[in-house]
Amino acid sequence: MFFIGFSSFSQPSEAAAKHMVQEFFKAFHDQDSVKLKTFAFEKVQLKSIGKKENGKMVVNTDSYEKFVSSISSIPAEVNFEERLGNLTVNTDGYLANVWMPYEFYINNELSHCGVNNFQLIYIDKAWKILSIVDTRKKQACKD
């Protein structure tokens, strides 16, 4: 009985996936590049989906390393905040999807909004980021 109870603590859970994403955003806002790097699995890519002014859909791809570097290089006088909506978590064994709407502010002004979609893998008794895809729009943030 003891071994069954103990082994359940190392199993992936929706609560642990949600907590990892919340810790990611804490490190993000703290510009903690060391901590941000601990959340990544191998070769994480970030993709952003948006529309150009002419209405053409565009997908931008960046490496996680470039993302971490850009966050840590934001000047101290720039106030940035990503305000998250409700996090929705779905898991299937060692795979999780964490989805949340967001609004991104720079110096207390709305820059853009959209949805974040984190794909996570449970490995070495922790959730790690496989990929992040977000949508970005300038208007209709309250829709």
The residue among 59, 77, 64 whose CA lies nearest residue 28 is 64
For the record, the structure tokens of 109 come out as: 């002004």
**Residue 112 to residue 71: CA distance in whole angstroms:** 16
**Residue 57 to residue 4: CA distance in whole angstroms:** 50
Per residue of the chain (143 residues), what is the pLDDT tens digit?
444 444 445 678 999 999 999 999 999 999 999 999 999 999 999 999 998 888 899 999 999 999 999 999 999 999 999 999 999 999 999 999 999 999 999 999 999 999 999 999 999 999 999 999 999 998 777 65
In one-letter notation, the amino acid at residue 1 is M
Question: What residue ranges define each of the domains in the chain, with the CATH number in brackets?
Answer: 11-135 (3.10.450.50)
